[in-house]
Amino acid sequence: MRQGCINETITYLWRKFFGKMKRREVIKLSGLALASLALPFPISAFTKYNHMKDSKDFEVIIIGGSYSGLSAAMALGRSLRSVLIIDGGLPCNRQTPHSHNFITHDGEKPSVIADKAKTQVLKYSTVKFLNDFAISGKKNDYGFAITTQSGVIFQAKKLVFATGIKDTMPEIKGFAECWGISVIHCPYCHGYELRNKKTAIYANGEKAFHLASLVNNLTDKITILTSGKADFKDEQIEKLNKRSIRIVETKVATLEHENGYIKNVVFNDGSKINFDGIYGVVPFTQHSDIPVELGCEITEHGYIKVDMFQKTNITNIFACGDNSSMMRSLATAVYTGSIAGVLANMELTNENF
């Protein structure tokens, strides 16, 4: 390129981007921009709870800062409510390499979705985030006092429990390592990836039958592992037989796997069957005891009892996400979290307007 041509191009670009600004002003501006890039913390760190400077009293404390908690926080933050999110950092899907069936994020790594949500929510300056664990809750004159593992006591007028549930892994070697990778909990989340594959259902009775009916649409290579005496009605056995769904009652001893990807199910008698994936129905407990301590009712299935507005039976306490829903999915967690946030804000509005 000719020298004259280069000069003309530089002059054109200078005018286009900096207009009539003087060279010195441009240099000063670029210096500021570079300095801001070199800041020691990411922007979100400024909304982390600061023990030295932030108040310990909030309008709302959200316990659990995963999908449902962050969704509640967004509705509240956008309404300028002072909110503290206390999060222990253990979402139930943390071992899953890819999350599915959540529109706009299909196939994404769960932590990528959660990090994006957190970055967006923490842009709202009235929302603070604290990495800690809430260990007890009490009613008091302010509303509620929440004590954390690190020994700090916070107060809030309203509480939102977005604490999730804890899956109990059976005593089968390799099961926990495969959980969320090739041992999965739900056909909507991971069934498509197992379509036409050799699939086991580790469950018994109604749950196994229900799963078999759903999974049968995705693959016709299904074996139910009851790991003990099968518990089906005659008509259920008839339907399973009709679709060539095998039932194996021998106790499961080990899952042979490679980095969580199942190879074989090994039984107590030493026999083994090769599978590509397993649907595992496992028991669960509530992740936090505080809702019960505060008097929240639990349903016969083990969930916090809520109404259609995510309100528990205790005034000023809401619950959302997995802890109060049988529909275990990101979409449900985000939906119910949003309802809880909106309703908590509406109550605060009605109380003060």
Ligand X SMILES: Cc1cc2nc3c(=O)[nH]c(=O)nc-3n(C[C@H](O)[C@H](O)[C@H](O)COP(=O)(O)OP(=O)(O)OC[C@H]3O[C@@H](n4cnc5c(N)ncnc54)[C@H](O)[C@@H]3O)c2cc1C
Tell me the residue number closest to ligand X, measured at CB: 321
State the residues that interact with ligand X by CB under 6 A.
Answer: 63-64, 66-69, 86-93, 96, 99-102, 133-134, 162-164, 167, 179-180, 185, 189-190, 287-288, 321-322, 328-331, 333
Shortest Å distance, C-beta 203 to ligand X: 15
Minimum Å gap between C-beta 189 and ligand X is: 3
Q: Residue 100 Cβ, how far from ligand X at the closest point, in Å?
A: 4
Shortest distance in whole angstroms from residue 163 CB to ligand X: 4
CA–CA gap between residue 146 and residue 171 (Å, rounded): 34
Residue 189: closest CA among 30, 46, 77, 332:
332
Q: Is the Cβ of residue 64 or residue 174 nearer to ligand X in the bound state? A: 64
DSSP 251: P
3-class DSSP assignment, residue 43: helix
Burial class (CB in 10 A: 0-12, 13-18, 19+), 147: middle
Vertex 230: Cα angle to 224 and 231 (nearest 5): 115
- Closest approach, Cβ 179 to ligand X, in A, equals 6
Say how far apart CA 309 and CA 336 lie, in whole Å.
8
- Closest CB to ligand X among 247 and 281? 281
Cβ nearer to ligand X, comparing 101 with 264: 101
Q: Are 255 and 231 in contact (CB under 8 A)?
A: no
Question: Judged by CB, which is closer to ligand X: 106, or 238?
Answer: 106
Which has the closest alpha carbon to 328: 111, 107, 67? 67
Residue 106 token pair:
């299909």
**What minimum distance in Å lies between the beta carbon of 19 and ligand X?**
48
Q: Which is nearer to ligand X, 96 or 338 (CB)?
A: 96
Residue 267 is inside which H or E element, if any? strand 261-267
Looking at beta carbons only, is 29 or 292 nearer to ligand X?
A: 292
Q: Are 290 and 137 in contact (CB under 8 A)?
A: yes
SS3 string, 286-346, reads ECCCHHHHCCCCECCCCCECCCCCCECCCCCEEECHHHHCCCCCHHHHHHHHHHHHHHHHH
Nearer to ligand X, 143 or 191 (CB): 191
Distance CA 16, CA 13 (A): 5
Q: Which residue lies nearer to ligand X by CB, 92 or 203? A: 92
Q: How far is the CB of 43 from ligand X (least distance, A)?
A: 22
Minimum distance of ligand X from residue 49's CB (angstroms) = 13
CB hemisphere CA count around 12 (13 angstroms): 6
